[in-house]
Amino acid sequence: MRFRLPPYWPALLLFCGLVLPHMARAAITVTDMAGRQVTLAAPPQRIALQDGRIALDLALLDRSQPFARVVVWNNLLKRFEPNQWSVLVKNWPAVAKIPDMGFDDNGSVNLEELIAARPQLLVAELRARPILEQQGVMRTLAQLGIPVLFVDDSEHPVPDAARSVTLLGQVLGREAEAKAYVDFYDDHWAALDKIIAAQPQPRPLVFVNVLAGQNDAGGCCFTHGDFGWGLLVQAAGARNLGSALLRTPAGPVSMEAVLAAQPNVLVMTGRAPSNTLVPMGYDTNETAAGVRLRALTQRPGFTALKAATDGQVYALYHPFYSSVFNIIGLEYLAKYIYPQAFAALHPGQDYASIIAQFTDLPPSPVLLGIRMPAHGG
């Protein structure tokens, strides 16, 4: 018996040539920021975010519709950055309809609500891993075939924030967009690092009063050790006082300890307007921030700090400690810690360039860093 090819065999061959190779390479395997191998059948179209701030990473990748894949999230942007949230909602009204499942910041999760959203992937911050494991979330999602991908913006912010963008770009099929931003990040970090390396020893001692005025029982002082802002200070080549005073990633220290150390530079972080914090970020102004910054330096003990009398007191936008945009926080730190070496650096302009070049986020006035004049100056 002679075998005859069907009349449609040319089309069949074309289908196999075009489709089957695509199917063979559709599976995506990456190594996440926890060192775990994660495999997905294809770029996910339904994503859950353990930390809603990861949506800003997505803004660099799914630029025209950064929230289109998000089906449920912990909306920390709305809770902690209401002014920025308003900007996002105005540009993408549908984002307000994404269910906020109320994870806590450490990783606790309503597993039933998470599963009901039918995500194809859960993206979580590395610091949430212990809770997700202890509460059985990782085990249950694995049984259901829902991968978990860890990114990292605060445990090891440099270089993990940029690496996390690369990782998400691979997973989402947005490698080109990821590379464009990471190239910018790496170029700016290399330029900073070159100048920092040339600075004399000993390096300045920096104290970061994290969310100054909010968690400061008795007037002083919540700070970061080898975490978040503390690691950004170290990346900027300076000594972080919190690392010397704390045995935990973050916590309070006494005013006596800060006075005894006499840091060269005092940084207070702030965010959206409140009755206690330095108002930093979107829809704020330098006058109001300066008034609040000066008031916070009038707390008991602060006027005795040499940094205050020398005019080395600054306020910075708090979210940089856990942000894909931490390169801008690093630029501000470098400019404030080494003012002469970085006199020509303009971090605010660089932030505007990021928004304009690498996202479709609307331009909006934002206050990211200010300096308080010396006492009497």
Please give the Cα distance from 91 to 23 (Å, whole number). Answer: 36
DSSP 3-state assignment of 119?
A: coil
In the predicted structure, residue 373 carries a pLDDT above the cut 90: no
pLDDT at 24: 44
CATH superfamily, with its number, for domain 200-372: Nitrogenase molybdenum iron protein domain (3.40.50.1980)
The radius of gyration of the chain's CA atoms, rounded to the nearest angstrom, is: 24
Average of per-residue pLDDT across 30-54:
96
Please give the Cα distance from 154 to 212 (Å, whole number). Answer: 19
Q: Which residues on neighbouring strands pair with residue 28, listed in sequence order? A: 40
Confidence of residue 101 (pLDDT cuts 50, 70, 90): confident
Pick the CATH number of 26-183 from 3.40.50.1980, 3.40.640.10, 2.40.10.120, 3.40.1360.10: 3.40.50.1980
pLDDT tens, residue by residue, 320-354: 999 999 999 999 999 999 999 999 999 999 999 99
Confidence of residue 273 (pLDDT cuts 50, 70, 90): confident
- pTM, two decimal places: 0.90
In the predicted structure, residue 95 carries a pLDDT above the cut 50: yes
Which residue ranges does the chain devote to CATH 3.40.50.1980? 26-183, 200-372
pLDDT tens, residue by residue, 294-311: 999 999 999 999 999 999
In the predicted structure, residue 18 carries a pLDDT above the cut 60: no
Instruction: Tell me the percentage of the chain whose pLDDT exceeds 90.
Output: 81
pLDDT tens, residue by residue, 213-234: 987 766 689 999 999 999 999 9
Closest C-alpha to 238, from 214, 211, 204, 269: 204
